[in-house]
Amino acid sequence: MQVSEQTVASVAKKVLETMAFAFEMPGEEGPPPGGDLVEATVAFSGPFAGRVRLTLPAEIVPELVANMLGDEQPEPPTPQQQHDAVGELANVMCGNLVQEIAGPKPVFRLDPPQVESKNAPYPAAAPAEVVAHIPLETGWARLSLVLEPSCVEATAP
Amino acid sequence: MALNVLVVDDSATMRHMVVRTLQMSGLPLGQLHQAANGREGLDVLEREWVDLVFVDINMPVMNGMEMIDAIRAQPTYAELPIVVISTESSRTRIDEVCRRGVRFIHKPFTPEQVREVVQGLIGELKDASL
């Protein structure tokens, strides 16, 4: 099974636009340096299995969450609210992405999102990882998909 | 008629987004209740009168399907309007959900989608009461 970067990017952009009013802003070149990151991982299983991981620079998360919650919030979102919101974004991206790949009929099971904050370099793509980097007005989003080995199309030696 | 609404989702963010969308929709709203899973949702239904339920499918403790089945088993709530808001995209699963007499909204959703579904439900309620 082969999944294109465009498929992953398309799902990421749609969810970011609809849920967080965050739009792609093309123009930035090269990988960002990393730093404080918030990362949400959703494992899935069904006709094929794997995991979807959403990585965001921590500095843009409060604004994304504020967009999701609405302007009436008197206080900046708490770390718990930020993790919940990033987890939900990843959950929705995962649900949409696996169905985009599999078509309308198969049923998948999604695990609850695992969210963590960390200080790290911009994640390098692992083998068999399909990565979409979305430059945004205030930062970027990285969505990656890893399929379990049995699902990955073998490449000729 | 002001609608008492129950929103059931394990994500507080998603509950907030649904409530905010309802508040922006111009619909006549009464009490707004929230629950983090199906079990908590049923607890709310035991002590409060609710006119409309929004429920996610994938939740810990008790998922949305189990909650819907429990609601439909109660004569008082057998006809309660229920809207499932879920990231579920499988046509097979969506059909399974809709056979329980509920409406379905796919995540990510727009406020317009929620408003359209709820207004349709309100129209049906009015027709049924005539």
Gap from A11 CA to chain B (nearest CA, Å) = 10
d(C-alpha B16, C-alpha B107), whole Å: 14
Task: Using CB atoms, pick whichever of B12, B20, B58 lies closest to residue A110.
Answer: B58
* Residue A151 pLDDT: 59
Tell me the torsion sign for CA atoms B24, B29, B30, B34. negative
pLDDT in tens, A9-54: 999 999 999 999 999 998 766 678 889 999 999 999 999 999 999 9
d(C-alpha B50, C-alpha B3), whole Å: 8
**What length is written for chain A?**
157
What does the pLDDT profile of chain B (130 residues) look like in tens digits?
788 999 999 999 999 999 998 888 788 899 999 999 999 999 999 999 999 999 999 899 999 999 999 999 999 888 899 999 999 888 888 998 888 889 999 999 988 888 889 888 877 766 666 5
Quick one: A5-151 is in which CATH superfamily?
Answer: CheC-like (3.40.1550.10)
Q: Is B88 on the interface with A (CB under 8 A)?
A: yes
Task: Using CB atoms, pick whichever of A18, A65, A87 lies closest to residue B108.
Answer: A18
Q: If one looks up domain B3-129 in CATH, what number appears?
A: 3.40.50.2300
Q: Are A110 and A42 in contact (CB under 8 A)?
A: yes
Q: Is B16 on the interface with A (CB under 8 A)?
A: yes
Number of other CB atoms surrounding residue A82 within 10 Å? 22
Chain A residues with CB under 8 Å of B57 CB are: none
pLDDT in tens, A49-82: 999 999 999 999 999 999 998 866 678 889 999 9
CA B18, distance to chain mean position in Å, is: 10
Chain B residues with CB under 8 Å of A106 CB are: 90, 92
Mean pLDDT estimate for chain A = 90
The ipTM value here is 0.87
Q: Where are the domains of chain A?
A: 5-151
Chain B residues with CB under 8 Å of A64 CB are: none
d(C-alpha A18, C-alpha A37), whole Å: 22
